[in-house]
Amino acid sequence: MNYLNKKTVLDIDVTGKKVLVRCDFNVPFDESGNITDTKRIDESLKTIKYLIDNKAKVILCSHLGRPKGEFNKKFSLEPVAKQISKSLNIDVKFAQDVIGESANITVSQLKDGEVCLLENLRFHKEEEKNDPEFSKKLASLADLYVNDAFGTCHRAHASTVGVTQYLPSVCGFLIQKEISTMSKILDNPKRPFVSILGGAKVSDKIGVINSLLEKVDKLIIGGGMAYTFMNSLGYSVGTSLCESDKLDLARDIMAKAKEKNVKLFLPVDNKVGKEYDPNTESQIVPADKIPDGWMGLDIGTKTADLFSEAIKGAGTVVWNGPMGVSEWDNFANGTIAVAKAIADSGAISIIGGGDSAAAVEKLGFADKMTHISTGGGASLQFLEGKELPGLSHLNDK
Ligand code: AMP
């Protein structure tokens, strides 16, 4: 899929127009309701500022969490409106609903260059169903639509696809950056091209593995998904994550790698634990010697060295998925080693969102990466070459 020809905010006249902007304000909160990480909001500011400077009437919308289609104060976007007000030193007006009276009044009172935020889109079950009536009502608030929520572009929802039926639709700066950076790197990768895949399941990543096997020189597989591969080689994997119905698939992938001359790396040792618990008793054992009743929760030290060595000298690196249960300090070392190896390699690097992005941020390596995608699922789908409905429905140049 080629999305480089999609119109952006720079291709339309926004002055005096009501512009509906789909953002990704799905930010984390602590127990007292304070936003603990404003990154997603910060990433949206460039487009919002552009629209303010060009005297648009800006109507922001987003989802937050999983409120299951009904109002739930815990998932209100009101704190986000306050945070944007603070970041831009403006007064962001907050509508108490999405397509109701409050939204209509708030939008009708907007002056050129002013901003409002609608309440959580997912307070309506119609949002995720891409309901045409809901889409039409949401679109009727505005004259133009801007999508800047890359993280939800792989989903066909009312606010990502439905509204595009009713409004001229373009992308914002954040989406444009995601598309142009990833397309450039993938279309003409500096070699050697190394991809590292981890995370929980082979079945989630099969599409991306197949598409990367056509492009990369080396493929490194770690995380929970590696145990299906090891099991397919005849190793016992104890109580590790293993998809026993995917053993043939794992063998096919290994055969395809050989055929394509892609060097495939699997763990040679693992850090195993007695139970799925952050403080469980643990030990490092060779890959073919996982004892019965133990589960692999991280790659071992020899594997961390092997993977780091394979990353050294890379021209391009694409990484998606942690090497173990990186949320737990006891089982984060493999993921840390990979993050460090990428940072030290000087390679052009794309980090898929989610846990690998979180690891890179937490370790302070973010500055050393070329691109950290704001969307885990969306970036995987992009790498896979699959359609992202939130992008394909935007207007072409
Ligand atoms: P994904 O969303 O597929 O990238 O998977 C990320 C999740 O995989 C994280 O929550 C990790 O805790 C989990 N994960 C990675 N390695 C393992 C493992 N060896 N056992 C269980 N879960 C794992």
Could you please report the per-residue DSSP string of 309-354? HHHTT-SEEEEES-SS-TTSGGG-HHHHHHHHHHHHH--EEEE-SH
* Coil vs helix vs strand at 193: strand
Q: How many angstroms separate the alpha carbon of residue 322 from the centre of ligand 1?
A: 6
pLDDT attached to residue 88: 98
Q: Which of 241, 276, 294, 381 to mutate to test the pocket of ligand 1 (most atoms within 8 A of CB)?
A: 241
Give the model's pLDDT for residue 45: 98
Q: Which has the higher per-residue pLDDT, 359 or 173?
A: 173
Scanning the structure block, which residue is given the tokens 């016992």? 236
Asked if pLDDT for residue 172 goes beyond 90, the answer is yes
pLDDT of residue 85: 98
Band (358; pLDDT cuts 50, 70, 90): confident
Per-residue confidence band for 359, with pLDDT thresholds at 50, 70 and 90: confident
Q: Is 40 a catalytic residue?
A: yes
Among 50, 48, 54, which Cα is nearest to 23's? 48
**Active-site position among 55, 136, 201, 362:** 201
Question: Per the residue annotation, which of 65, 113, 377, 385 is the catalytic one?
Answer: 377
- The average pLDDT across 235-243 equals 97
Identify the three-state secondary structure at position 255. helix
pLDDT of residue 211: 92
- Give the position, in ligand 1's atom list, of the atom nearest the Cα of 240: 20
Which of 202, 298, 325, 336 to mutate for ligand 1's pocket (most ligand atoms within 8 Å of CB)?
325
Is residue 267 within 6 Å of ligand 1 at its C-beta?
no
In whole angstroms, how far apart are CA 26 and each of 22, 206, 380?
12, 27, 19
- Report yes or no on whether pTM surpasses 0.85: yes
Q: Could you tell me if the CB of 27 is within 6 A of ligand 1?
A: no
pLDDT at 353 > cutoff 80: no
Q: Is 354 a catalytic residue?
A: yes
pLDDT above 80: residue 206: yes
Please indicate whether residue 66 is annotated as part of the active site: no
Report the candidate in 376, 378, 372, 382 with the shortest Cα–Cα distance to residue 43.
Answer: 372
Q: Is 33 part of the annotated catalytic residue set?
A: no
Answer whether the bond into residue 267 is a cis peptide, omega within 30°: no
Q: So what's the pLDDT on residue 273? A: 98
Residue 110 — pLDDT band, cuts 50, 70, 90? very high
Q: If pLDDT is split at 50, 70 and 90, which confidence band does 78 have?
A: very high
Say how many Å lie between the CA of residue 358 and the centre of ligand 1.
13
Give percent of the chain with pLDDT exceeding 90. 90
Write out pLDDT tens, residues 122-157.
Answer: 999 999 999 999 999 999 999 999 999 999 999 999
> What is the β-pairing status of strands 295-299 and 18-22?
unpaired
**How remote is the CA of residue 71 from the centroid of ligand 1, in Å?**
31
Say yes or no: CB of residue 127 within 6 Å of ligand 1: no
